[in-house]
Amino acid sequence: MIFFALRTIRHRKAGFAGAFLALMCAAALVCACGMLLETGLRGGVAPERYAGAPVLVAGDRYVRETIRKSEGKTKAKAKALSERRWIPASLAGELGRLPGVGRVVTEVTFPVLVAGRSFWGHGWESAPLTPFTLRAGRAPRDGNELVADARAGLDVGAEVTVESPAGSRVYRVTGVTAEALPSQDTLFFAASEARRLAGRPGLVSAIGVFPRSGAPRIDLPPVPGGAVVHTGDERGAAEFLDAEQARLKLVSMGGALGGTALLVAILVVVGTFALSVQQRHREIALLRAVAATPRQVRRLLGGEALVLGVVAGTLGSALGIGLGFWLRSRFVALGVMPENLRLVVSPFPVLAALAATVLAAWTAARVSARRTARIRPVEALGEAALPTARLPRRRMLAGLLCAAGGTVLTLVLSGLSTEAASGPVTMLTALVWTVAAALLGPVIARVAVALLGAVLRASRVSGYLAAANLRAGSHRLALVITPLSLMVAMTCTILFVQTTMGYAAQEEAAAGDRADYVLGTRVSSAAAEAVRGVPGVEAVTEVLHTSVRVGLEKYGAQAVTPAGLSLTLDPGVVAGSLHGLGPQTVAVSRTAASRLGVSVGSPLRLTLGDGTAVTLRVVALYERGLGYGELLLAHGLVRPHVDDPFSTALVSAPSLSRAALERAAPGVAVLDRVRAVAVGTPNAEVNYVTMGLIIAFTAIAAVNTLAMSASDRSREFALLRLVGTTPRQVLRMARLETLTAVLVSVAVGTVISLVTLTAFSLGMTGSARPHVPPPAYLALVASVAVLTLAATALPVRFVLRARPAEAIS
């Protein structure tokens, strides 16, 4: 059958072009997602700063927990910390006494600002760990001296004001390095000054260990103090704290995006093959009439699908490698993954994409040909002339089962209150509802034609013809509706999940806003203290964003200064009081409290960002968790345990003007509340990039289906021309049919997305009203209309160029 399949494809290239394009795009998506997934599982991060240290000792980046299972078995689990775990400086002396160790170098790391530009500060003593060498000048000796890297743009002898967590000070540049690191700007201070600026006495961020002269390597034993030994690319993971989070995110994104792409691909390719098989009813009918068995017809269509799948999968996988590199560049630009996290390129994603494409093609062909291959030879020619209007029972049952599954997923989604849980379920819910709509498409099409037919017939010739064509070809309309409604549903869901969350967070933050001004976004405690001393300032609340873990579960938290808190913000306390917030207490959002099973007065054991375990007492529950985080902690408790202690400051100063406050706090930006909230809102661009590929694929499939449907109607258009219909009337008829398909698809897609978004909003925000900006929705509808009209008009114009007699022949 492969021989016959090849001959069929060769003589019907146009008929298979649509399926080929859909399969190629699917293979590219699956291959790119597989590369992301494999990078998350096996990718390594090359060190930059620690490239000069053969062995690095740094704090353990994980919080670990042993879980007891049935039958007395235990399982150890670990989750990454959000901040750097510091280790005792005394550990350097212990390491220096080990056999084979020649030299031990300690390092401290802290953030600094120079004219608003971010740098990482270190002591010059740690320069041997790095590739840095002096190009000009000398090393810093006194507390007011520093060495700048080659990219800083500073010259020897220059004086610069450096803002650090310890305050502001003027330093003199005594040296400039010959090198600069690709992804981090660096300033070196004298060793004692660096320890003062870091603010962690007795602790260091890392220790480099060098072998004794002549020793090829060092084998260090396990070290105490929560420290871990790193060599090779492990040094890069210790240097780039976001590398592990990036790998985990790539695993989740690659798996979710790849799975979604495969489901969408199967749905789209099934529709494309169904249209292709439908266009070949007459050919298949003739095969059945000359004694071809149903098995032979299925094998023929399956062979065609296998050939298409192999060729399209091979080309698509090659394109997918380039797409994977493009995705990586976008994620690096958005800050999702570090530049040093290398993309893993291996045969596995290519082979997986090829296998998935072939399987999707074969499945689509078998599903599309199932009913066509089983009809009796005598009925075949009649079937080719006039397709039946009755929906097969199995398809009806499958559609109802998918609708039931969509209902269950919608109910489950409405009860999920965390993004980690609701994210995958949201997309799955929209997909299942779309599959149900695709299976029940003929029913939806007939109902839509019955409702809209009267309106179309009012448009004289073109409208009358469009209504008659839609009524007779409702099966064709159903195939066009599927990719269009999928595009609308997916796009609305992706876009408006983000707007719903962002709007809810801004609404809660605005409702609790009591501050007159916002200083930020990076203000040191010393600068905040200086503002507190300005006459007319009633309260200054420093706000620090971080995350903590309760057990192994991650919670977003805000650290605030308790003094005068009621004058700057109101998180909506429903139980207890924030007056008791301090180093030994915590306030919990009502949603998080229900998950944790705590109330006012309950103890809560949690792990801070750097791995420090603390037990706090719950003093308040509040309702505005989206706007103010799931936990509220004291600023003094959290500040020593984060890598970047610069904060945003909320200021209560009703008697001061903005200009007066700017004069009182020179060099500190004064923001309005809307901008401050936007700064704290998670970046949604990553989701737009990843899921935008699915939308683009769906749009290509929709255009493909419309073009195939229009180009197959050459005989129909020729007959209309022969009976006196003008080309303009035929074109207008096609446009009216397309607009009808757009209207029905937009309605179906909107209903699917609205059901999904309502459930998502109810679970995440407690409100059944998702936020859908009208301009964005109207722009989407207009884009779909323009895309579909163009995809219909171009093939129809091309078909109308042929003479009617030639087209019929």
DSSP string, 249-304: HHHHHHHHHHHHHHHHHHHHHHHHHHHHHHHTHHHHHHHHHTT--HHHHHHHHHHH
Burial call 144-160: b when 16+ CB within 10 Å, e when fewer: bbbbbbbebebebeeeb
Q: Both 696 and 762 in a single domain?
A: yes
Q: Are residues 39 and 72 in the same domain?
A: no
Query: What whole-number distance in Å separates Cα of residue 2 and Cα of residue 366?
Result: 15
Residue 518 corresponds to which tokens in the numbers above? 């916002």
Residue 790 domain-assigned (yes or no): yes
Asked if residue 172 lies in contact with residue 144, where contact means CB atoms within 8 angstroms, the answer is: yes
Residues 179 and 318 in one domain: no
Residue 192 CB: number of other CB atoms within 10 A?
A: 12
Phi, psi (deg, nearest 5) at residue 705: -65, -45
Is residue 420 one of the residues assigned to a domain?
yes
User: What values do phi and psi take at 531, rounded to 5?
Assistant: -70, -35
Last residue of a domain, one of 388, 410, 426: 388
DSSP state of 46: -
Task: Judge contact between 652 and 564, C-beta under 8 A.
Answer: yes
Q: CB-based burial of residue 772 (10 Å sphere; 0-12 exposed, 13-18 middle, 19+ buried)?
A: middle
State whether residue 206 is helix, strand or coil: strand
Q: What total number of domains does the chain contain?
A: 4
The count of other CB atoms within 10 Å of the CB of residue 322 is 12
Q: Report the distance separating Cα 540 and Cα 559, nearest Å.
A: 13
Same domain as 282, residue 154: no
Show the domain range for 690.
391-506+684-809
User: Residue 640 carries which DSSP code?
Assistant: G
Are residues 631 and 693 located together in one domain of the fold? no
Look at residue 676 and tell me if it is in a domain.
no
Residue 672 forms part of a structural domain: no
Dihedrals phi, psi of 35, to nearest 5 degrees: -65, -40
Residues in the chain: 809
Q: How far, in Å, CA of 362 to CA of 349, rounded? A: 20
pLDDT of residue 691: 65
Residues 509, 677: Cα–Cα separation, whole Å: 7
Beta strands at 117-123 and 55-59: parallel, antiparallel or unpaired: unpaired
Residues 106 and 133 in one domain: yes
Full-model pTM: 0.78
Query: Which of 357, 388, 419 marks a domain boundary?
Result: 388
Q: How far is the C-alpha of 605 from the C-alpha of 55, rounded, in Å?
A: 34
Largest CA distance in the chain: 101
User: Collapsing DSSP states into helix, strand and coil, what is residue 549?
Assistant: strand
Does residue 551 belong to any structural domain of this protein?
yes
Choose among 471, 475, 479: nearest CA to 452: 471
Is 246 in the same domain as 380? Answer: yes
- Between helix 474-511 and helix 441-457 the angle, nearest 10°, is 100
Q: Are residues 126 and 175 in the same domain?
A: yes
| Class of residue 92 by CB neighbours under 10 A (exposed 0-12, middle 13-18, buried 19+) | middle
Domain contains 704 = yes
How far apart are alpha carbons 577 and 587 in whole angstroms?
9
Of 368, 388, 408, the last residue of a domain is: 388
Integer Cα distance of 620 and 602 in angstroms: 10
The predicted structure's pLDDT at residue 299: 76
Residue pair 234/329 in contact (Cβ under 8 Å)? The answer is no
Side-chain half-sphere exposure of 621, counting CA atoms within 13 A: 16
Same domain, residue pair 41 and 62: no
Buried b (16+ CB within 10 A) or exposed e, 358-371: bbbbbbbbbbbbbe
The rounded average pLDDT for each run of 10 residues, N- to C-terminus, in the chain (809 residues) is 55 63 84 88 85 90 79 78 91 87 92 90 93 93 93 93 89 94 91 92 92 72 81 85 78 76 72 68 69 74 81 91 88 78 88 87 73 59 52 85 94 86 86 89 85 76 78 74 84 88 87 87 84 89 93 92 92 93 95 92 94 95 92 95 91 86 77 50 60 73 70 72 78 83 91 95 90 90 85 76 59
Q: Does 561 share its domain with 630?
A: yes
Q: Among all chains, which residue has been given the structure tokens 């022969």?
A: 722
**450 with 360, same domain?**
no
- Nearest CA to 499 out of 628, 684, 271 is that of 684
Distance of CA 249 to the CA centre of its chain: 9
Domain match, 378 and 478 both = no
Q: What is the pLDDT of residue 225?
A: 66
Q: Could you tell me if residue 168 is inside a domain?
A: yes
Q: CA angle 318-322-327, nearest 5°?
A: 135
In a domain, 666, yes or no: no
Contact at 8 Å (CB) between 650 and 516? Answer: no
